[in-house]
A and B are shown apart, each in its own frame.
Chain A
Amino acid sequence: MNKVLKLRHIAIIAAVVVIAIGMAVGTVCHFLAGGFFNYGDEFASYKSVEITTSIPEDVHGDTAKAVAEEALSGLGAYQTSFSEGTGLVPNKVIYKFYSSASDAELNSAVDRAVQLLADKGMEDGTAMLHVNEGFAGGSWQLALAGIALASAVVFQGIYFALRYKLGMAIAAFGTQVASVGLYAALLALTRCPVGLEAIAFTAVVMVVNMICSAIFFDKVKRSYKDDSNAKTATLELVTLGASASVKPAAVVCIAAAAVAVILGLFSFIAAPAAITLAPYGAALIAVVCSALAFAFICPASYGELCGMDRKLKS
């Protein structure tokens, strides 16, 4: 922590640079790669193979599932879905593949599925390859979420200004802005697929940050009140506060990350595909951003503000 505070200018510049690079990559990708972020599977385009069987021939769709498994497994489907038909509506098995999947391989698998359906006596069964283009909606929800989260950050600033010091409030505000900026930048940089749950994880970033910064400022405020520190330099007290809050803040961040990792692990067991891990990846990035912002931005920016204050007073 001592080093961080000594190199506080560099810490702040580094964070700004990372955010700037992320924004630049996101902007370039917005024009060249289909979006500022890599939108998740619900909005992305994909290829799908659909196998259908009619109800009298295949009562519960077991044959459709068996044919799909035999013809399509091993081709890298990232999601499978089965819908049991009713009456005239056929059973339907859908295997979803990334857009980059080879048409030749998928067409050959479709031919194989048609053959298998015929072999199993499914006269009405069909197998088809489809190309699907996704559409996003609800952009106003992003705006609403932005307003809500910005209001929360402003409230935190006002609360900290009343409870602690104005400088602490400004530093907390700056840390929140930096952590959300880092989160957006890292999502854009890593091209981690994101859905609208990314908004919810922005709240995770902010809450973890609120906890960590409250711990830090409480420690610093206590050291200010301690008479034995009367002759100690302010920056030194900030350093001590930062060092004392590293452990509890680390516990908070590690615990939050562990929750995401454990839940992600079990989700991966349920559906072993890279796309399954995407939301947990976003959650993990959220926690990492909170930790980075707390470790590098919060004490550094408050230390910088204290330094500026001292210069002004002298």
Chain B
Amino acid sequence: MNKVKSAIITAIVVAAIVVAAVFGVASFNIGVADRYNSIAANIPLGSEFSGYVYTNVYPEGVLSADDYAALDDEDKASYEARGGLYVSLEESGFESYEELAAAVESDASVVAARLGDRGLTDFEVTVTDGAAIVAAVPSRYTYAAYKGDSSTDHSNALSVAAGTLSMLLADGELTLRTTDGSITVDEEAGTTYDTTRFADEYTDADILGDGSATYPFVSSNEDVASYFSSVSAFTFGGSHVLTLNLSEEGREAIHTISTYAASSSSQTMYLCIGDTQILSIPCSATIDTDVMQYTMSTHDAAMDAASVLNSVVSGSQLEVDYQPLVSVLSGTARGGENAALLAFIGCIVVLVAVCAAFVIKYKKLGGVLAMSCVILALVLLYALNILAIQTGIAVLVTCGLALVLFGAANLWLLAEVRAQCKTGKTMQAAVKAAYKRVLLPVVDIHAVVLVAAILVAAVCAGEAAACGLILVVGTIASYALWWFTRLMWFVCSAPVRNKFAFGGFKREVYGDE
């Protein structure tokens, strides 16, 4: 390879890296109204870096200080202060504060289990002053959304988190409902309607959100939860599918109910938990199957529905009657307001330190290695963005681990090159021999790590799965770049006469020249 070719290839590679780096990390305004947010600024962040979206759930008869302050003196009379909350046993329907606290505590563990089953590993469920639940899920804001540079991303992320919270905090019984008031499944003679809570859930709440009333299909004390044996969700080829597995009893009941639903004006069954609509089931014909599958709008919606339905189907419903969710709030990052920025700076420092160590140890060859390190960092950065991996501390440490893997493979190689040089081989022969000698062990390391990463990504959930996924990308990139380093070594050192000096090596025996 001559000097010109070498210079052109090197220039192209460097230019590609610079362009990728600029678009990767630099955000800037375009004109007056538009803004380009970098790849790094568009990575969804974990709660350490972008905070939680949370809501306070108060049982009926329990008020926050703000709400209590808004009451008139007459209404205040029935409330008494309990820690930072105000409780009216009369309004709550419980005999004693201890009973209420025990029920709230039990509900909090149900909510925590639902969030865990939802596949979240980063969430908070706490009972405040024994009488209210605070549930928090990661906001998954991008840095641009967190800093207010992307209002669309901010509202989208907030709406997803709010949807998750409202779905998973649904309290009450599972019901199948219709908007057609004339439909009821035939009653056996003498059956009385039970309209108390946890019975038939006759409600005047606006469940559908359009002002229309809904009525339960099953008009006696039927347990609709027993119709289902389990609920699951999966995403395949861009479709988000909710699968409802019916029990034997459920198959018969759904057959009857769907026959009525098909004859109704809306031809729809609404699957609800308390006053929360979980699923709208189109029903133009009788359903006679063991498994019902429905497409949901998003992966999150499918996972939320599966988690809360599974919880209720397995008998874990919230015991206390809670006030409707008024609002969700988004707090500052768990790791401090500027945690994301400082973590990013930390990553840059790690990268610069690795590159500097390579250059110091291996001179210009270290520069080639540093170039590969930067490419690896960019690959990880772009992968985090494209795969929408929620990035928290664990994911950052795993990215660091991928860098360590790459560094270890290359340092091992260079140590071998150095050893080969000392046997008197020419530089090209030493490099060739070193690659040959360390190829299999380097493949060993990458293969074992890759399989481990795939297993973690496929089997685990939440942060652990995210770590597995980024390690899969990092391992593949590390191996590809290990070979790329050889190519760039060849390209960059081609015009250099003293290749030993290029690599920072010394040749001790000169017999074969």
Residues of A within 8 A of B (CB): 42, 45-46, 48, 50, 52, 54, 79-83, 85-86, 89-90, 92, 94, 124, 126, 128-141, 144-145, 147-149, 151-152, 155-156, 159, 163, 195-197, 199-201, 203-204, 206-208, 210-211, 214-215, 218, 248, 251-252, 255-256, 258-260, 262-263, 265-267, 269-271, 276, 279-280, 283
Quick one: given A135-B126, A210-B449, A251-B408, are A200 and B108 in contact (CB under 8 Å)? no
Quick one: given A138-B120, A196-B122, A267-B393, are A152 and B332 in contact (CB under 8 Å)? no
Say whether B400 contacts A214, CB under 8 Å: no
Quick one: given A256-B400, A263-B347, are A200 and B394 in contact (CB under 8 Å)? yes
Say whether B411 contacts A135, CB under 8 Å: no
Complex Cα gap A121–B400 (Å)? 50
Contacts of A130 in B (CB 8 A): 83-85, 128-129
Contacts of B415 in A (CB 8 A): 248
CB distance from B40 to the nearest CB of A (A): 15
Please tell me which stretch of B24-32, B252-260, B264-272, B334-342 contacts chain A, meaning at least 4 of its Cβ atoms lie within 8 angstroms of it.
Answer: B334-342
Most B-side CB within 10 Å, residue of A50, A83, A124? A83
Let me know if B246 is at the binding interface, CB within 8 A: no
Please tell me which stretch of B12-20, B111-119, B222-230 contacts chain A, meaning at least 4 of its Cβ atoms lie within 8 angstroms of it.
Answer: B111-119
Let me know if B169 is at the binding interface, CB within 8 A: no
Say whether B452 contacts A156, CB under 8 Å: yes
Let me know if B208 is at the binding interface, CB within 8 A: no
Quick one: given A50-B84, A256-B404, A280-B393, are A144 and B459 in contact (CB under 8 Å)? yes
Say whether B394 contacts A131, CB under 8 Å: no
Let me know if B412 is at the binding interface, CB within 8 A: yes
Per DSSP, chain B at the interface is helix
Contacts of B455 in A (CB 8 A): 148-149, 151-152, 155
28 A-B contact pairs sorted by A residue (CB < 8 Å): A42-B122, A82-B332, A94-B331, A128-B84, A130-B128, A138-B120, A138-B461, A140-B117, A145-B456, A148-B455, A152-B455, A163-B444, A197-B393, A197-B463, A199-B463, A199-B464, A201-B394, A215-B412, A218-B440, A251-B411, A252-B404, A263-B350, A266-B345, A266-B349, A267-B342, A270-B339, A270-B341, A270-B343
Contacts of A207 in B (CB 8 A): 401, 405, 449, 452, 471
Let me know if B321 is at the binding interface, CB within 8 A: no
Say whether A263 contacts B339, CB under 8 Å: no
Complex Cα gap A139–B455 (Å)? 19
Task: Give the nearest-CB partner of A126 in chain B.
Answer: B65
Say whether B124 contacts A42, CB under 8 Å: yes
Select B460's contact among A48, A148, A252, beta carbons within 8 Å: A148
Contacts of B65 in A (CB 8 A): 52, 126, 128
Interface size class for chain B? 35 or more
Let me know if B92 is at the binding interface, CB within 8 A: no
Select A267's contact among B329, B346, B349, beta carbons within 8 Å: B346
Let me know if B97 is at the binding interface, CB within 8 A: no
Let me know if B386 is at the binding interface, CB within 8 A: no
Contacts of B338 in A (CB 8 A): 270
Task: Give the nearest-CB partner of B52 in chain A.
Answer: A81
Complex Cα gap A106–B52 (Å)? 24
Contacts of B163 in A (CB 8 A): none
Let me know if B121 is at the binding interface, CB within 8 A: yes
Task: Give the nearest-CB partner of B341 in chain A.
Answer: A270
Say whether B462 contacts A196, CB under 8 Å: yes
Say whether A145 contacts B335, CB under 8 Å: no
Contacts of B116 in A (CB 8 A): 136-141
Which residues of B (348-399) have their CB < 8 Å from a CB of A? 349-350, 353-354, 392-398
Contacts of B51 in A (CB 8 A): 81
Select A145's contact among B448, B451, B464, beta carbons within 8 Å: B464
Say whether A137 contacts B123, CB under 8 Å: yes
Which residues of B (98-136) have their CB < 8 Å from a CB of A? 105, 108-109, 111-117, 119-130, 134
Contacts of A204 in B (CB 8 A): 397-398, 401
0/1 string, B465-502, CB within 8 A of A gives 1: 00110010000000000000000000000000000000
